């Protein structure tokens, strides 16, 4: 049976439109760091190289190689950890040029360092990309987190974050890091801003 994250991991990827507490275990990712406006060509290029690697893994059986433990699955959505430079934090309005980010695509558990290396080689041969050497493969655990589904333009996210901060305060929690995670369930090139679906997540701890 094909593993589809929308069906089989709803608790992590299809939350409600209100804050909720979840535990996010360790997952493996292809990741690349950057700084600046996510509407830039540079950001798009980074997204493209991540998807090249994700699909290289996904298509390995069709290239004659089946990783140990491989199963049919749907490629996971794009995610990002977002922060601001010191200058950006001091600004009263959001200066997108001062954003710091690590964007990533989760990989199934069967993807080892060896499988990841094979994906790098496939992309280098098939579709050479100067950014390939800036992509890392590693595991991250968000752990205890508060998340909710935001529907609407990215620029309207602050209202959802405000609801999350209220929930965190009411439940004797505190935000662990100034970074927050976003998971993009919609393709912004094809979906109207008012209908964009994004999972927003703060990593938290009890106080």
Residue 1: per-residue pLDDT = 85
Percent of the chain with pLDDT over 90: 94
Task: List the domain range (segments joined by +) for residue 60.
Answer: 5-206
pLDDT band at 65 (very low <50, low <70, confident <90, very high): very high
Average pLDDT, the chain: 96
How many separate domains does the chain show? 1
Residue 142: per-residue pLDDT = 97
pLDDT band at 127 (very low <50, low <70, confident <90, very high): confident
For residues 42 and 85, give the distance between their C-alpha atoms in angstroms, rounded to a whole number.
18
Please give the model's pTM, rounded to 2 decimal places: 0.96
Residue 78: per-residue pLDDT = 98
Instruction: Say which CATH number the domain at 90 has.
Output: 3.20.80.10
For residues 63 and 134, give the distance between their C-alpha atoms in angstroms, rounded to a whole number.
25
Tell me the average pLDDT across 54-74.
97
| CA-atom Rg of the chain in angstroms | 18
Q: Up-side HSE of residue 59: CA atoms within 13 Å toward CB?
A: 11
83 has pLDDT over 90:
yes
For residues 123 and 2, give the distance between their C-alpha atoms in angstroms, rounded to a whole number.
24
For residues 205 and 95, give the distance between their C-alpha atoms in angstroms, rounded to a whole number.
29
Q: Which two tokens stand for residue 94?
A: 């959001």
Render the chain in DSSP notation, one character per residue: --B-HHHHTHHHHS--SS-EEEEEEEEEEEEEEEES-TTSHHHHHHHHHHHHHHHHHHTGGGGT---TT---BPPPPEEEEEEE-HHHHH-SS--GGGEEEEEEEEE-TT--HHHHHHHHHHHHHHS--TTGGG-EEEEEEEEEEEEEEEES-GGGHHHHHHHHHHHHHHTTEEES-S-EEEEE-S-TTTS-GGG-EEEEEEEEEE-
Residue 188: per-residue pLDDT = 87
172 has pLDDT over 90:
yes
């Amino acid at each position: 049976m094909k593993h589809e994250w929308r069906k089989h991991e709803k608790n992590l990827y299809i939350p409600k439109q209100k804050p909720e507490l979840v535990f996010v275990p360790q997952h493996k990712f292809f990741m690349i760091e950057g700084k600046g406006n996510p509407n830039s060509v540079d950001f798009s290029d980074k997204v493209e190289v991540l998807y090249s690697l994700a699909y290289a893994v996904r298509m390995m059986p069709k290239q004659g190689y089946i990783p140990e433990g491989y199963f049919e699955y749907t490629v996971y959505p794009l995610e990002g950890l977002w922060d601001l430079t010191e200058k950006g934090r001091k600004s009263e309005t959001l200066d997108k040029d001062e954003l710091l980010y690590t964007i990533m695509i989760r990989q199934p558990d069967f993807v080892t360092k060896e499988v990841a290396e094979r994906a790098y080689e496939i992309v280098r041969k098939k579709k050479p990309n100067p950014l390939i050497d800036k992509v890392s493969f590693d595991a991250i655990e968000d752990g205890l987190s508060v998340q909710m589904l935001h529907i609407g333009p990215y620029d309207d996210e602050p209202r959802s974050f405000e609801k999350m901060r209220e929930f965190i305060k009411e439940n004797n929690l505190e935000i662990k890091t100034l970074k927050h995670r976003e998971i993009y369930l919609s393709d912004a090139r094809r979906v109207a801003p008012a209908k964009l679906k994004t999972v927003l997540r703060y990593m938290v701890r009890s106080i």
